[in-house]
Amino acid sequence: MANVVATDSGDLLRPGIETITAAGEQIEVLPDGLLGPDAADRVGDAKVLLVGLMHWRRPAIEKLPDSVGLMIRCGIGVDVIDVDVATERGIWVANVPDYCVEEVADHTMLLLLAAARQVRHFEASWQQEGRWASLDYQPVGRLAGQTLGLIGLGRIGTAVARRAGGFGLKVIAVDPGVPDERFAAVGAERVTLDELFARSDIVSVHTPLTPVTRHILGAESFARMKDGVVIVNASRGGLLDLAALDAALASGRVRAAGLDVLEGEPTPDLAAPLLHRRNVIVTPHVAWYSQDARRELGIKAAQEALRYIRGERPRNLINPSARATPGGGGAA
């Protein structure tokens, strides 16, 4: 039987599947479309699960056999896995936190520039008029000298801060888990969240989605921001309350938004008024993507699985204390 099971996203994880096979290990790839409890019934005596987009909540995790000792989220965010329940079962959860840092930082700047420069509006305006002589000029300020507020200064937030300096943006940031040295290294000023909301011309969010950070950008947050602020989100859809954003856009509190993630993805409500605003640009959760990043994701996830099977400690554990909890299985 296979030591490793890919629970979903087999095509996406092809480089990882090939890496595991080349190492002499068997891997079973479950078909897409299964729900977590159904997938749990099909993992056999696997030691490691590679999880793409499938949601693993209590009913599914509790059905897993005791042989499973590690679940690897093939991506950065682990919000699709109920880590607390996995910990109860003695199952380690790991992720791949460093596979698409440059891509997401690049895409964040793309969204920031497109929103701040009102790219979607001007494209639609000239096409509607059929000529360039009668454009509907919307307010656009000079980017250099504006203040960019980063919520989160981890790997991606740090890479965004470095890029932002090249555009003449002043960077302020909030991240209680990051030392002062990192702020200094990228020229970012450490501020409180209240200060960030009050001072930023542009707000970009780069923090994990947790119960605490859900809707960190919502009605209350927008009320504390400057009029005409630009919002950027290339992290997780649940960080941003879309209804509150739509209201803030309608009132003018938010001037424009650039989004790569939405609540309800991958099938968001396409009739939502927000998606039809000319001052909102939306890309379909592709900030992570390049051919290089896709290959790196699969290979790094596979290497983590192989470490565990060899009896080594995984490098990127989310819940390292889980293996002190009775009930877990596996080889570590």
DSSP code per residue over 118-137: THHHHHHHHHHHTSSTT--P
pLDDT of residue 136: 80
Residue 82 token pair? 């109920």
* Residue 129: pLDDT band with limits 50, 70, 90: low
Residues with active-site annotation: 236, 265, 285
Higher pLDDT, 326 or 322: 322
Average pLDDT over residues 277-294: 96
Model confidence band, residue 18 (pLDDT cutoffs 50, 70, 90): very high
Query: Do 118 and 221 fall into the same domain?
Result: yes
CATH number of the domain that 230 lies in? 3.40.50.720
Average of per-residue pLDDT across 309-320: 93
| The pLDDT of residue 330 | 43
Q: How many CB atoms lie within 10 A of CB 213?
A: 18
Position 326 confidence tier, pLDDT thresholds 50, 70, 90: very low
194: confidence class by pLDDT, cuts 50, 70, 90: very high
d(CA 117, CA 214): 28
User: What tens digit of pLDDT does each residue of 58-100 get?
Assistant: 999 999 999 999 999 999 999 999 999 999 999 999 999 999 9
Does 229 map to a domain?
Answer: yes
**Whole domain around residue 68: which residue ranges?**
4-99+291-324
Domain shared by 68 and 198, yes or no: no
Which residues does residue 56 pair with via DSSP β-bridges, in sequence order?
Answer: 81
CA–CA gap between residue 187 and residue 263 (Å, rounded)? 32
Query: 161 and 33, same structural domain?
Result: no
CA distance 185 to 181: 6
Does residue 233 carry a pLDDT above 50? yes
> Are 244 and 297 in the same domain?
no
Structural domain includes residue 331: no
How many C-alpha atoms does 259 have within 13 Å on its Cβ side? 25
The pLDDT assigned to 130 comes to: 67
Give the whole-angstrom CA distance, residue 329 versus residue 48. Answer: 10
Pairing, β 147-151 against β 202-205: parallel
**Residue 210 included in any domain:** yes
Q: Is 197 left (phi over 0), alpha (psi -120 to 50) or beta?
A: alpha
- Terminal Cα distance for the chain, rounded: 19
Label residue 327 exposed, middle or buried (CB < 10 Å: 0-12, 13-18, 19+).
exposed
Counted domains in the chain? 2
Residues 19 and 49 in one domain: yes
pLDDT category of residue 271 using cuts at 50, 70 and 90: confident
